[in-house]
Amino acid sequence: MSDDVIGPVYEGEVVDHGPRRERFARWWRHSSRVPLWLKDRAHLRGAVRELLVRLVWMPWRYARAVFRGLLAAFRWWRKWVKVTDYREAAQHQEKLADKFTEIRELTIFRWKITGGVLCLLVSSVIMVRLILGDGPLWITGAVLSLALAIIGRRRDRAAGRKAVFSGPRSLAWTMDPQVLIEAFRDAKLIGKDETLRLVQRAIRQGDGWALTVDLPATRKATDVIKNRDALASALAVDEVQLITERVRAGGGHAGRIALWVADKDPYASPPQRTPLLAAERWDVWRPAPFGRDARNRRINLPLVWTSLLIGAIPRQGKTFAARLAAAGLILDPHTRLYVADFKAGKDWDAASRVAHRFMSGDEREHVLSLVGWLDELVREVQGRYRRMRELDDLVCPESKVTPAMSRDPTLDMPITAVVIDEVQVPLEERAVIEIEGKRVAVGEHIGELLTWLAKKGPAAGIVLLLATQRPDSKTIPSGLRAVLGSRFALRVMDWRDSNIVLGEQMNTRGYDASRLLPSHKGVGILRPDGETGGDVLALTVRTDYMPNDDWRTICERARVLRQREGTLTGHAAGVDGVPLLQAVAAPPEVELPEPLASVLDYLDDHGDGRDFVPTAELVAALDVEPTKFGRQMSDLGCSPTRMRVDGAPQVRGYLVAEIRETGAALAA
């Protein structure tokens, strides 16, 4: 075997560059300089379709650009011929009056130039057409249209290209932090140099956007709630879509506000059926389902240790709201019900199957029957307090009815609800009855009894539920309204009626039931007592829907429960035992002299909670001559005085108490 000669060995890599055609193809596919539509057939087809669309629409787009250019040229000529720049400079230097003559002369001169140029153009066109024909004119027109199209082409952020009406803003745009700050500034809720601190960014909650912000120092969340309409306008939404709530307790302070902006009107959808329809029974010590707020959160109403006043104009859902509150009481078989329907309709007839006392009517005998009921309840409350005093601390720790006490038949202290619909009927009754040797008006006596029960009854298990379609100071005594813990105002006529239901100055805090929309049936402002709204002062609620069929079903179910528990009593059991009081002849009414009678009528409607009324206000309201009015009031015994009103300088007027005392003395 012969030895082969082996030469040196080299390490390397074989690279086959291939033909130029393949190298060019690789570069074409991967180069960023080559458009995508030249690399792929699908993109090429899309580009061709887009080009064809552009070619089809190009004449129309060109015509619009020429039109916009023509408008831009016209605006420029108009400013030039009106000497706008010179006029604005003179106005800025406050010398417009001094320069008026010069401005007018320059304006006339520029109008002359315009007329001369137009005449020159017209003559030039005629001469060119006669000498050279239409060809040069067509060329000149094409060049001119191209120049106008260039001037009128759309350019982003160019002067004169911004639309005046930009169209509706989306809620996502509205919730942008910078836009929100500008809205607060436009609504005068923060200063030009102040800003907001975002506590919680805008997030979707239900059918809207929610966020929480901190106001600048010294700015209060209550001011935002009070000026909610201005903020809604700045955010370009309807005020019913904007919910403002102060954040309280551990996670809040006086300057922290929670906002929720709905996508659409939250009350436009149909109301929901009451959950009580599906409940076999209910515990009266649990808050009853009452409705939902704008964010579709469940709102429950406490039924024990409080009283409820419902006010509204007719056909706004007042009776429906009252029946919702009563349904939670009815479905507890251990409650006792007094139901008085002074509407004299059939809305409450189903309650007669479970009520301990029931009546429906608006005659005088019905009002006198109510007096007997209330006297019976006053004696019942007094008896309960006497019996509670004798119980040991384990059974009755705090002179208050407990759940165990209310269900103990041996103690006979059930939760007792007094439901009076159209309560203004008995309160306005002028018949006279004799009480302990004194003659008093029935309406006045009923007001005193209801006030006493509202004060002392809740701890003894007595619940008042009053509904009225006439919420004014003359109908509902101020002493009675002051002790009713829960208030619910559906739509009323003006802010005064709203304040009578919800409380004084509530409209200045941003809660005015007169601003509710007529289409929002069953929507009202609830001022809760207890844990209904947490720490909020008031909230807008849409009550649940409970038609007559559902109401009858609930009442029949409640009757079965009472029969099973053995708690069916009084009217529902066929026993009525309250004696009917007899009215006595009323003394003849004394007609008060004018203008005192008109002044008292005015104070009944507009003087609730006031100690002083200015003379100027009375003169304007009664449309009388000031000097004669002052002399007549002095002759009647009402002397004017001077007082400060809301920190303003002293004004001349009368003390309300003195006017009422004078009227009472003359009437006696």
List average pLDDT for each run of 10 residues in the chain, which is 668 residues long. 50 54 71 69 73 80 84 85 75 65 82 89 86 83 84 53 42 65 87 84 81 88 87 85 81 85 84 89 91 87 89 86 91 93 89 92 89 92 91 87 91 93 89 80 90 91 90 76 87 85 82 84 84 67 90 94 90 71 49 79 69 82 83 82 71 81 72
Based on the structure, what is the number of domains in the chain?
4
Dist. CA 178–CA 182, nearest whole Å: 6
Residue ending a domain, among 262, 283, 307, is 262
**Which letter does DSSP use for residue 188 in this model?**
T
pLDDT the model gives residue 168 = 45
Q: Contact 536/524 with Cβ under 8 angstroms?
A: no
Burial zone of 277 (CB within 10 Å; 0-12 exposed, 13-18 middle, 19+ buried): middle
- Angle separating helix axes 656-667 and 596-606, nearest 10 degrees: 130
* CATH at residue 321: 3.40.50.300
- Asked whether residue 537 is assigned to any structural domain, the reply reads yes
Q: Pick from 99, 123, 151: which residue ends a domain?
A: 151
Task: Kindly state whether residues 435 and 506 are assigned to the same domain.
Answer: yes
Q: HEC states along 203-246? A: EECCCEEEEEEECCCCCCHHHHHHCHHHHHHHCCCCHHHEEEEE
At residue 182, what are phi and psi to the nearest 5 degrees? -65, -35
Nearest to 643 by CA among 609, 599, 612, 610: 612
Per the prediction, the chain carries an average pLDDT of 81
Same domain? 311 vs 434: yes
CB neighbours of 511 closer than 8 A, spacing ≥ 6?
A: 498, 502, 525, 527, 537, 538
**CATH code of the domain containing 214:** 3.30.980
Instruction: State residue 97's pLDDT score.
Output: 62
Closest by CA position to 466, among listed 624, 308, 621, 663: 308
| Same domain? 145 vs 290 | no
Distance CA 544, CA 189 (A): 35
pLDDT at 649: 72
Same domain? 532 vs 418: yes
Q: Is residue 126 situated within a structural domain?
A: yes
Residue owning tokens 């006696």: 668
Classify the phi-psi angles of 280: left when phi > 0, otherwise alpha if psi is within -120 to 50, otherwise beta: alpha
So what's the pLDDT on residue 283?
Answer: 92
List the structure tokens of 455. 């004060």
Residue 569 lies in a domain: yes
Are 298 and 378 members of one domain?
yes
Whether 23 is in a domain gets the answer no
Q: Quickly count helices (H) and strands (E) in the chain.
A: 21, 19
Question: What is the sign of the dihedral through the CA atoms of 153, 158, 164 and 168?
Answer: positive
Quickly tell me which residue has 């006086």 as its tokens. Answer: 254
Per DSSP bridges, beta strands 336-341 and 651-655 are: unpaired
Residue 257 sits in the same domain as residue 283: no
Q: Is residue 32 part of a domain?
A: no
Residue 208's alpha-carbon distances to 172, 228, 258, 299, 523, in angstroms, are 10, 17, 13, 19, 19
My answer on whether 559 and 603 are in the same domain is no
Looking at the fold, whether 412 and 549 belong to one and the same domain comes out as yes
Q: What is the pLDDT of residue 533?
A: 47
| Residue 44 confidence (pLDDT) | 74
Residue 293: give the domain boundaries.
275-573
Whether omega before 595 lies within 30 degrees of 0, making that bond cis, reads yes
Tell me the one-letter amino acid at 188. Answer: K
Q: What is the pLDDT of residue 160?
A: 40
What H or E segment, with its residue span, contains residue 434?
strand 432-435
Within a domain: 36:
no
31, part of any domain: no
Q: What is the pLDDT of residues 574-609, one digit of tens each?
A: 876 655 555 444 445 556 788 888 888 777 766 555
CA pseudo-torsion sign 93, 98, 101, 105: negative
Q: Under the phi-then-psi rule, with left for phi > 0, alpha for psi from -120 to 50, and beta for the rest, what region is 15?
A: beta
Residue 528's contacts (CB-CB under 8 Å, 6 or more residues apart) are 301, 302, 486, 536, 538, 539
Alpha-carbon distance of 62 to 576, in angstroms, equals 91
**Residue ending a domain, choose from 230, 262, 294:** 262
Residues 503 and 623 in one domain: no
| Torsion (CA) 166, 168, 170, 171 in degrees, nearest 10 | 120
Distance CA 495, CA 511 (A): 9
- Both 384 and 303 in one domain: the answer is yes
**227, 507 Cβ separation under 8 angstroms:** no
Instruction: Tell me the C-alpha distance between 596 and 636, whole Å.
Output: 8
What letter does residue 351 receive in the DSSP assignment? G
Tell me the chain's radius of gyration from C-alpha atoms.
40
Q: How many CB atoms lie within 10 A of CB 194?
A: 15
Give a yes or no: residue 28 inside a domain: no
- Strands in 641-643's sheet, in edge-to-edge order, are 612-614, 651-655, 641-643
pTM above the 0.75 mark? no
Clarify whether residues 254 and 281 are in a common domain: no
Is 120 in the same domain as 212? no
Nearest in space to 536 (alpha carbons), one of 207, 248, 279: 248
Indicate the SS3 state at residue 368. helix
Closest CA to 292 of 544, 668, 80, 51: 544
